[in-house]
Amino acid sequence: QVQLVESGGGQVQAGGSLRLSCAASGGTFRNFAMGWFRQAPGKEREFVAGINWSGSSRYYADSVKGRFTISRDNAKNTLYLQMNSLKPEDTAVYYCAADPSVDYSGSYPPQYWGQGTQVTVSS
């Protein structure tokens, strides 16, 4: 059973930056493709970014392309999401996700979810 624990959320002003981390345990990290999702109040959970097992392939939602960067460190069993130029519409709970596949671009629900971390962007 894979456990995922997010950290790094918080409150920031528009235009600011945050870096989210997701620590994975209970499985061999490099055997999983990883992703980030988010859910804003009153909205459905949506895909933000995905990355393959090695980090050589990355996928982004159009709404975050050019502002967010997903990365992973397989030696540290950790997934990251660098968020720059944040906007109020980025306010949401951000979830780390893991799927036992080589690659993951968010086209189906992942097998494992973290508990989420709140990101609030004020104008």
pLDDT score for 1: 86
Mean pLDDT within 88-111: 95
Give the pLDDT confidence of 25-53 residue by residue, as tens digits: 998 999 999 999 999 999 999 999 999 99
Mean pLDDT within 52-65: 97
C-alpha to C-alpha distance for 17 and 84, rounded to whole angstroms:
4
pLDDT score for 65: 98
Element containing residue 62 per DSSP (H, E): none
Distances (CA, A) of 19 to 12, 33, 39, 89, 117: 11, 19, 17, 17, 11
Mean pLDDT within 63-89: 98
- Closest C-alpha among 42, 113, 25 to residue 76: 25
pLDDT score for 97: 98
Give the pLDDT confidence of 7-29 residue by residue, as tens digits: 999 999 999 999 999 999 998 99
- Closest C-alpha among 2, 20, 1 to residue 10: 20
**Structural contact between residues 71 and 82, judged by C-beta atoms closer than 8 angstroms:** yes
C-alpha to C-alpha distance for 75 and 31, rounded to whole angstroms:
12
